[in-house]
């Protein structure tokens, strides 16, 4: 049985997504992305944005007599969602992508299939992780991105 796909609507929150930045930490699942942008010599300035699928799954019912009546959930077409996040990564010098399950890899697969230059040379790491707070995302970015002298800050900072 093939999955039914619906055109997904997006909600983008935060003006920072439209600007260029030094670095970004992206926490992504299949319906929501939180982006933490870091700027400045020591990445001391943080700004935030979100991209969400609106009505990510809808119930549907098929009543085709040849196949019998079936019902289930329609899966959204996530391409616009991933493309919005990829565009934000493309405006940053460095990026880390984190998230649960297969969402980080799905994002990277979409980027590599359609525009490999959008992430080429920018991606510092991809990690699987459960929910992280904004403060934890900021701390992860500051710990993992090289700073002014080209070296990451010492551990335990």
What residues does each domain of the chain span? 12-55+78-144
Quote the CA–CA distance of 107 and 85 in Å, as a whole number: 8
Q: What is the pLDDT of residue 80?
A: 86
Question: Would you say the C-alpha torsion 132, 133, 138, 143 has a positive or negative sign?
Answer: negative
Quote the CA–CA distance of 94 and 73 in Å, as a whole number: 37
Quote the CA–CA distance of 25 and 94 in Å, as a whole number: 9
Q: What is the pLDDT of residue 61?
A: 54
User: How many Cα neighbours within 13 Å face the side chain of 127?
Assistant: 16
Report DSSP state, residue 55: S
Q: What is the pLDDT of residue 29?
A: 92
User: How many angstroms separate the Cα of 127 from the Cα of each of 25, 38, 48, 103?
Assistant: 11, 18, 20, 10
Write the class of the CATH domain 12-55+78-144. alpha beta
Q: What is the pLDDT of residue 124?
A: 92
Global pTM exceeds 0.85: no
Sheet with 58-64: strands ordered across = 5-7, 68-77, 58-64
Q: What is the pLDDT of residue 149?
A: 47
Q: What is the pLDDT of residue 120?
A: 87
Q: Which residues of the chain have pLDDT under 70?
A: 1-8, 55-76, 147-157
Q: What is the pLDDT of residue 136?
A: 95
Q: What is the pLDDT of residue 115?
A: 85
């Amino acid at each position: 049985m093939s999955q039914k796909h619906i055109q997904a609507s997006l909600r983008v929150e935060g003006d920072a997504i439209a600007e260029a930045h030094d670095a970004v930490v992206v926490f992504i699942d299949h319906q929501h992305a939180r982006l933490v942008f870091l700027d400045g010599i020591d990445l001391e300035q943080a700004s935030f944005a979100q991209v969400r699928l609106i009505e990510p799954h809808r119930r549907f019912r098929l009543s085709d007599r040849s196949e019998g009546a079936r019902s289930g959930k329609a899966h959204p077409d996530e391409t616009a969602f991933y493309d919005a996040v990829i565009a934000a990564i493309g405006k940053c010098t460095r990026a880390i992508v984190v998230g649960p399950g297969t969402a980080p890899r799905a994002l990277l697969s979409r980027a590599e299939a359609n525009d490999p230059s959008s992430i080429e040379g920018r991606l510092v790491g991809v990690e699987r992780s459960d929910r992280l707070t904004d403060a934890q995302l900021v701390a992860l970015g500051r710990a993992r991105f090289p700073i002014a002298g080209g070296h990451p800050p010492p551990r335990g900072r």
